[in-house]
Amino acid sequence: MSESLPIVSVDFKDGEVTLTSEQAKVSAHELYRLGADLVMESGSVELEINYFDEEGTTVESACMPFRSTNIDAREGMGVYVYGRAPEHAVTASLSITAGMAAAANLRNLNIRWESQLELDTEDKEDLGDMVLSTITSNAAQNEYGELFFATNGDPALFQVIDLYTGERIFEERIPGIDTAWGIAIGSDENVYFSGTSNRMLYRYDRVEQRLENLGANPSEPWVWDLAATEDGKVYGGTMTSAMVFEYDIATGTFANLGSMSETDQYVRGIGATDRYIYAGIGMTAGVVRIDRETGDRDEVPIPNAGQEGIIANIEVYAGKLFIRSGCCTVFVIDEQTHKLLQTLRYRNEISPPNPNNERDLYYTRGTRLYYYNMEDNKEHDVSNVSNLSDADMRSLGWLKKEDEYVLIGLNRLAEAFEYKPASGDFQFLTIDAAPTGVPIHSIEIGFDGNVYMGGYHRGMTIYDPVAEEIIHSVENMQQSEGIGFMNGNVYFGTYGQARIYRYNPSEPFDFGTNPEMFKAIGEAQDRPFTLTSGNDHLFVGTIPDYGQLGGALSIYDETNDRWDVHRHVVQNQSIVGLAYLNGKVYGGTSIWGGDGSVPTEDHAKLFVWDVEKGEVETVLTPNVSGSDMRPKMIGELAVGPDGFIWGLMDGTVFAMNPDTLEIVKSRVIYSSNFSASKWRPFHLRFAPDGLIYTTAGRKLTVIDPETLHHRLIENDVHLMTVDEHNQLYFASGFTGANLLRKRVINHRPTV
């Protein structure tokens, strides 16, 4: 039962105002939730629930404070107090108390109460890190044989390797960040780096071997790249407003240099010299040059200027700009004349000039090593080096060993190599890079009872919950966005060209063969977040590539071994929820496309796809009673035991009749703000106990499908699943690396 309650009294006392709701009927010993939807820009509020007996006397009270830091000033949120009605209680009311200033900016206030589902659970178990990896997003090395990088994890782990011995000589976790894209060696020979979530600039003092937090940059939380100059400055490029900041090493102060583009989101790459700063822009490709003396800005002409794309790296060597566009197209441009000298192809990194001759710069492409000669302006193949990993390079630099400079390379998997240009000798290096637990990014229970998990950035693990052990783990599988099952096989939908891996658990595990890379969907698709199956067909819903709108429904017909990709099933929308029933696929969409794109539609849709006809049968906007806002994202979807199509729209659950497409029941469980991931579906699982377990509103919640009574189990949960024994498996927050388990003991349906 759910009911909105009007405010019946307003009291002023000691500089505070208290708003009190009308009393609602309650039953002794039952569990209730009273709360409010509100927007508040500053201050704090306190919620108090009061229970009354038949004579109107207060028999019990419970309160909960909330600060404005917990309440999104733009989108708002729901704040709640949970309580069990005591003996003799027949009614309850909610009071909201705030200071006068806070009360003045309370908006969109809606007070409501509802019965809560009874549920008994055991304490959660922490099963530990699941997906271990030595993935690094960037690295730097110095002339003293020290290699610096942070391995991605929760939190990230900063490490220093002695390249002469391969030993790890320093490590420290960095709370608050899970990866560090930006890293540079300053003029003071110390190492500077930033993460992608908290604005902080960190410094590693290589002499004292300690980390220090230098404070928050004045631009934006997500820092993509850093560059340092010889006169003691460090520059950073950020997202989502394409900004640049400066840090002065001598004074310890920051400066915000502002946005480089009014219409773009990224400064993805940044380079700097004694005179200029070069900022690589996206999603419209461009390079902005800033004069460090005057502050004047102009653009460096590049062949794809103004076209869709991202400028990802900018290096300056010997008067030449090396500007990487996208994954691997590099423009070599004269810094003075801006003449295009050459176009190269490499992934991520190019070395400084070889100190032995000052003209050759090395890079990798695929599994081979190449160099660019600045004198003859040509690319040359290092013929005897063809067995490299194809993983992206993170650092290429020079180290003097026995009077000879050798090239040291490190890729994103923390694999290192050494190459001697003078002799042509090549060897892989063993370095003691410590693995870290990366955030769990996808999770499903398989038909074999095992827990399948994909890691953020990379990695995959299969966990046996009976034996309580990891039975398979592979570090170099691409980031799995979604996991599905069909006819004894497991399908992993991975990030980057929407590649689908297939694994047969009945065959020996051998990554590359089983699981194998089964299909690259392509068609400008990038992230397969939802997979389902039916009647020997696998259905995959995807998010498009960077800057793109228009996801796809991809269908694999196993009987005929055929793939069909259908883009723009709903124009300019991505697909984040799929369910199959009786020859029809029911899909839910997200208005958001690939990273850096701007939605053109204002609300998400449901669609029905006729598998036999291969066409859209219906597109509709669900009419959900009481919904607090038009949906921007609908999914996941699931077929319930009752034959209805169940779905989630952030904090709202609904059930749809598949024949009439009518919404037969719905409930706003949490206020919707769609402020977390724009792609990851809200999980929805029917359990053996007959209940629905979900991540509605990004909270682990249980729902009774008959009454829609519900109960919060755990806050801040973005992904979960449930096994045949009513055990819940989930991760904490968006970056949780540890697998958590909670057993549901029993539930008592609310009447």
pLDDT of 98 reads: 81
Q: Which two tokens stand for residue 46?
A: 């306190």
Torsion of CA 224, 230, 231, 233, to 10 degrees: 10
On whether the pTM is more than 0.75, the answer is yes
**pLDDT digit string, tens, across residues 635-667:** 999 999 999 999 999 999 999 999 999 999 999
C-alpha of 174 from chain center: 18
Which amino acid is it at 245?
F
Residue 154 CB partners (closer than 8 Å, separation 6+): 178, 436, 437, 438, 439, 735, 736, 737, 738
Q: What does each C-alpha distance from 184 to 270, 523, 618 come to in angstroms?
A: 11, 36, 53
pLDDT of 69 reads: 45
Between vectors from CA 429 to CA 423 and to CA 432, what angle results, nearest 5°? 155
Pairing of strands 360-365, 168-174: unpaired
Q: Place 104 in a pLDDT band, splitting at 50, 70 and 90.
A: low
Secondary-structure breakdown of the chain: helix, strand, coil percentages, each rounded to the nearest 5: 0, 55, 45
Contact in structure between 290 and 274 (CB atoms under 8 Å) = no
**pLDDT digit string, tens, across residues 293-306:** 999 999 999 999 99
Contact in structure between 618 and 568 (CB atoms under 8 Å) = no
pLDDT of 751 reads: 32
Residue 413 CB partners (closer than 8 Å, separation 6+): 133, 134, 135, 389, 391, 458, 475, 476
325 bridge partner residues: 311, 329
Kindly state the percentage of the chain with pLDDT values over 70.
Answer: 94
CA 589 to CA 549: how far, in whole Å?
A: 12
CA 506 to CA 488: how far, in whole Å?
A: 8
Average pLDDT of 145-152?
97
pLDDT of 71 reads: 45
Q: Which two tokens stand for residue 640?
A: 């319930």
Give 562 or 122, the one with higher predicted confidence. Answer: 562
Q: Place 251 in a pLDDT band, splitting at 50, 70 and 90.
A: very high
Whether 560 has a pLDDT exceeding 90, the answer reads yes
CA 456 to CA 478: how far, in whole Å?
A: 9
Is the domain 2-116 a CATH 2.60.120.260 member? yes
**Mean of the per-residue pLDDT values for the chain?**
92
CA 719 to CA 732: how far, in whole Å?
A: 8
Could you tell me if residue 333 is left (phi over 0), alpha (psi between -120 and 50 degrees) or otherwise beta?
A: beta
Q: How many CA atoms lie within 13 A of 566 on its CB side?
A: 19
Q: Phi first, then psi: what are they for 100, rounded to 5°?
A: -60, -40
Contact in structure between 673 and 75 (CB atoms under 8 Å) = yes
Q: Which two tokens stand for residue 286?
A: 């461009």
Contact in structure between 727 and 127 (CB atoms under 8 Å) = no
Three-class DSSP category at 104:
helix
CA 729 to CA 588: how far, in whole Å?
A: 24
Whether 112 has a pLDDT exceeding 80, the answer reads no
CA 503 to CA 714: how far, in whole Å?
A: 32
DSSP character at residue 514:
B
Pick the closest to residue 542 from 534, 533, 531 (CA basis): 531
The sign of the torsion formed by the CA atoms of 610, 637, 735, 548 equals positive
End-to-end distance of the chain based on CA atoms, in angstroms?
9
Q: In three state form, how does the secondary structure of 339-353 look? A: CEEEEEECCCCCCCC
C-alpha of 604 from chain center: 21
Q: How many CA atoms lie within 13 A of 25 on its CB side?
A: 1
pLDDT of 154 reads: 83
Q: Place 84 in a pLDDT band, splitting at 50, 70 and 90.
A: confident
Q: Place 73 in a pLDDT band, splitting at 50, 70 and 90.
A: very low
C-alpha of 38 from chain center: 27
**pLDDT digit string, tens, across residues 8-67:** 888 888 888 888 988 988 888 887 877 776 666 666 778 888 999 999 999 988 777 765
CA 652 to CA 639: how far, in whole Å?
A: 17
pLDDT of 643 reads: 98
Q: In three state form, how does the secondary structure of 35-56 look? A: EEEEECCCCEEEEEEEEECCCC
CA 629 to CA 197: how far, in whole Å?
A: 28
pLDDT of 78 reads: 63
Pick the closest to residue 147 from 229, 202, 206 (CA basis): 206
pLDDT of 734 reads: 80
Which amino acid is it at 611?
V
Contact in structure between 40 and 148 (CB atoms under 8 Å) = no
Contact in structure between 737 and 129 (CB atoms under 8 Å) = yes
Q: Place 528 in a pLDDT band, splitting at 50, 70 and 90.
A: very high
Buried b (16+ CB within 10 A) or exposed e, 4-37: ebeeeeeeeeeeebbbbbbbbebeeeebbbbbbb
Contact in structure between 529 and 680 (CB atoms under 8 Å) = yes
Classify domain 530-668 at the CATH class level: mainly beta
Three-class DSSP category at 121:
strand
Pick the closest to residue 77 from 50, 52, 123, 108 (CA basis): 108
Question: Is the previous residue joined to 155 through a cis bond, with omega within 30 degrees of 0?
Answer: yes
Q: How many CB atoms lie within 10 A of CB 63?
A: 12
Question: Is the previous residue joined to 453 through a cis bond, with omega within 30 degrees of 0?
Answer: no
Contact in structure between 665 and 529 (CB atoms under 8 Å) = no
**pLDDT digit string, tens, across residues 404-450:** 999 999 999 999 999 999 999 999 999 999 999 989 999 999 999 99
CA 124 to CA 739: how far, in whole Å?
A: 10
Pick the closest to residue 575 from 586, 561, 560, 563 (CA basis): 586
Between vectors from CA 680 to CA 676 and to CA 683, what angle results, nearest 5°? 105
Pick the closest to residue 477 from 509, 506, 448, 449 (CA basis): 509
**pLDDT digit string, tens, across residues 329-363:** 999 999 999 999 999 999 899 999 999 999 999 99
pLDDT of 694 reads: 98
Q: Which two tokens stand for residue 35?
A: 């709360």
Whether 103 has a pLDDT exceeding 60, the answer reads no
pLDDT of 403 reads: 87
pLDDT of 67 reads: 57
CA 119 to CA 722: how far, in whole Å?
A: 15
Could you tell me how many residues make up the chain? Answer: 751
CATH superfamily for domain 135-358: Kelch-type beta propeller (2.120.10.80)
52 bridge partner residues: 58, 91
Q: How many CA atoms lie within 13 A of 281 on its CB side?
A: 26
